[in-house]
Structure 1
Amino acid sequence: MNLLNKLFAIIIIACFPLHLISQKNLLLNGNLEKHNSNGKFINWLVCSGTPDFYMSNNNSCFALFMNDEFVSEAMQGTLIYPMKVGKYYKIEADVKADAKWCKTMISEISIGFTKDSFKKIKKNVAIKLKGISYASLFSEDSSVIHSQKYEHVSGIYQAQGGEKYIIVGNIFPANINIYMNNVKSHSMYFFDNIKISQLDKPSIKRHKNQKNLNLFFTKKSHTLNPENRQLLKTWLSNIGLSSIKRIEIYGYASSEGKEAFNLTLSLKRAAEIQKYLCNYIGEDLISFKAMGEISNKKVNKKDRKVLIKAFLN
């Protein structure tokens, strides 16, 4: 082998493992095909509620009950190795609902990451599951989950560093807006083929017909003041109500204070915006989610906000 061929071989060997790492599923048993004699999925832990498990040779999945009351079910999976600080990861999953004619927003699925493992708890998961950083999910094909088929959802997550576990499920039950024939109801989400892969370079897509608005709040407040009301009215007027396909609302809080308080505060902020928007838009077109505090070393008043995303026809 001449010198040029040797050099080419060295380059191939050096680059090949990096490519494999970026494509490899970092989640142990992400396809849910490995289970033990007790009917439990290997490398998965029930951390809230009583999820249902369905096992077959090629189509195993777990199902989590969801409604708009304080009912919480969540599963915890384990990563092959901890996430690296500042690195971007892609999250993918196949999800569907079980109730016929049921629909609910993809944005209401909660998938997050944590450094510590959780033991099973019976209720109040939104308060007791601390230290979770969440990823936002989207689908190229649809904004809602239906029962007829699995919807492939994905998202991008930037690691804080050291995250070893994924939490999947109904983390914020007060967010869930599930409708059957335009009447609020309940459902179960079926999860399968969950994958996490490290990205060499992030590719964060924005919906081509998407308009965003940030509204800011004062410390410890979730009240929609007159200034924010006017900003919302102007924003809606500029968009045009007839062109709105759906709206997603994300509540945040700054990092001072207790984490549980900030999580509840971010939920109240998002709910306040949702309540106001229902004066103009159908409730079944609006979803909201509490994102909790934004982790910063220094307190930033701009973290006391609600992000509103309008997706247009």
Structure 2
Amino acid sequence: MPRKHDVDALPRDKLLVLYQRLTLDCRKHFQADLAKELNCSPQTVSRLVDVIENHLGKDTYIDRGIEGRKRYYLLRTVSENKALGFAFEELSYLSTCRDLAAPFLTESVLARIDKSLHALALHLGETFPGLPEPTISFHSKGFIDYVPHLATISTLRIAITKRQVCRVTYTAVGRHSPTEYRYAPGHIVAMNGTLYVQGYRLGAGSLLQERPTTFSLHRIADVEPTGEFFRFDAADIGARRFGLTWHEPRKVQIHIAVTAADYVRDRVWSDDQRIDELGDGSVVLTVTTTSEKEISAWVKSFGDSARILNTSAEPGGET
């Protein structure tokens, strides 16, 4: 018979500790973590969970699932699912989303969100901490005030959902007069403290996509739905590529010196990236980009530690 993990702990001790974990901390508890904490096998954890569930009330049950190949246990109630459809863990995620969006929202909107989070916590029967200050913040040398652009954001979000063609009046960087475009908005993306809308420019009187176009949201003077609707996927976000969408996808090969190789290895730059190891410890990174300007600026930020080897268009792309 194999030796027990902990010969000093009684089964009832482990049962009580596990009961406390499941009932007092309403989040996902992974089997491997519980086994390590209780100093027992995963099979023992599973058996103890069964014992606890057999003694719970009719309104309570233990949800079992797998996340990232790891088995977890989560205490749930039938009334909770019927009333709200989510638990305190999801409420915590909403709080995190609130902190992430805070730089782009007005104080009045943030106050309404905080009030709603507290109300949801009360419905769940949980104690939800106050939010005098966000737990996540951003630091930058300058920021864009998006309060004057909330109406533009709202119009674009509706147009994206309904696939409405819009008439966009936009002033590009370095120009003093605006230009009007027929535009199919796909999605709004945040990058380096700036909001952008990505989509496709349309030809006059046409509902067919002409070319990918990205607008800086704060430089849009006006956006107005035309009453027309497009049928294609203007978001076009099936594959993650380097940079925002300014042109058709292009392959780029970059040599990265030893001093910056680990930094590059630790990150995902595009879904189809390839990293080739060289004998001297340096690497060659191959990525797909839709913004040569961005990738050129990124390479220059490494100084002498990076250089572009070559660039080629993907099939059907521009050269």
Which TM-score applies when normalising by structure 1?
A: 0.23
Structure ID, larger Rg:
2
Q: Higher strand share goes to which structure?
A: 1
Which TM-score applies when normalising by structure 2?
A: 0.23
Which structure would you say has the larger RCO, counting Cα contacts within 8 Å and 6 or more residues apart? 1
